[in-house]
Amino acid sequence: MQFQVEMITTDREAAASIRSLAVELLNPVAERIAAELWPASVEVSGVRETFDVFAQPYFIESPAASRSSGFNEILLTMPASEKLELLELGISGPDGEKVFRPGTERGVFTASDQMQAALLANGGDSIWVRLDDALNILPESGRTYNRITLEGEEVPVTQDGLPLTGAAYGTLDEDERGAIRYFRRNGDQLSEIDQTSYQDLPGEEQGPVRYFRILRGDGAQFPFDALGDSLDSRAYNRLATAERGMVTGPGQRFRLRLSAPVFLNGTTLRLFVRHAASADAEEAWQAVEAGDADEGVASNTLSINVPIDSDLVHGLSVGPNPFTPNGDGINDSAEISLDIFKLTSSRRLQVRIYTLNGRRVWQREEMVLSGRTTVRWDGVDDHGRRAPPGLYVCQVQLDADAEGEPTTQARIIAVAY
């Protein structure tokens, strides 16, 4: 755990200081949650696309003090989006997936059995769903049994939890390389033997070769015994009490089908869950990590790729065109809209209106990010006077980074009375 604190003082004779720092640790609502989306790319940037986000939660069953509470609220956010929309929610179960879709009641999604999910936010850059029943560990699902390990012990996996292969073993630091264990296969049974005896065995009797990594730091929890065999309930119960780690299991997978335009390459969805008694409760959100949530989906990511081109601005339009700023409440102003792409930080957008002979009539500056941007002109010039009827040039200019040239586009706009 690491903290960064910025301190400011307005008294030149006194320095800011910290006397204490309190941290409250909460049990997570789930041991972990893996999520991925499909598709993970779009062919045309800025065009509304449909995505499915799959999430697989895993919960803690034991020890009782750490048992997961489950979660009943889901929050999804998408940076640089103003038109995020949930189309349907799916929750898997023993009888297949239960799908919730918009019903007749506003802000409520309903399944075929009339179960409901409340939609607390749906639009802008976020989707917030509240379920009637919390999602938690499935009673009949398989369990993963973990053994508590200490510094200096050995495990047959990499730091990422993947099986340690011979190639990966060779890349370890010398002080991280643990034992290499050889096993003889006798039917369904494995017995450890030395390397020489292993090499003399016929091929059908040669069992697995396991490579071990020496733990550095404080250790962790792994679903293996000291020989690298996966733990089941019997092996777990044979462990000393101090060695028994968490027992975890999967919960119901859920799916969010949403639509949104994507403007920035690498746009990453952020997903959170929590267990709250009410929508205005001050309960903490638990983040969801990208990973394998569905065997039928191969993305393992929450990021979206978009085509790379040189243009920052697309889709410049003016409407209504012509417009009639006469104060009658009908077409009194023109909306100048454009799609902005590839910005990772805010940039200055300048919108200017010129007469056909090049005299500037009106201008507006805004700081913008990637997404759809709209600027409104009410037909009044910079001096507060109503612009005469006629044709004008609407020019937009977007500042680029320090090494690039500004992007400029223009359209003709007509004022009529």
Class of the CATH domain delimited by 32-141+251-304: mainly beta
What pLDDT is stored for residue 17 in this prediction? Answer: 83
Distances (CA, A) of 267 to 128, 181, 257: 19, 44, 17
Backbone φ and ψ for 299, nearest 5 degrees, come out as -85, -45
How large is the greatest C-alpha to C-alpha distance in the chain, in angstroms?
98
Q: Are 122 and 259 in contact (CB under 8 A)?
A: no
Instruction: Return the pLDDT at 300.
Output: 93
The strand pair at 221-222 and 144-148 is best described as antiparallel
Domain ranges within the chain, ordered by starting residue: 32-141+251-304, 146-230, 313-415
Q: Which residues of the chain have pLDDT under 70?
A: 80, 82, 308-310, 401-404
If residue 192 lies in a helix (H) or strand (E), which one and from where to where? strand 189-193
Same fold, 32-141+251-304 and 313-415: yes
Name the token pair of 90.
């799916």
CATH of 313-415, one of 3.90.110.10, 2.60.40.4070, 3.40.1350.10, 1.10.287.610: 2.60.40.4070
The structure's pTM equals 0.74
pLDDT in tens, 274-315: 999 887 788 899 999 999 999 889 899 999 988 766 578 888
Look at the block and give the residue holding tokens 């510094």: 151
List CB contacts of 180: < 8 A, sequence separation 6 or more.
169, 195, 209, 210, 211, 212
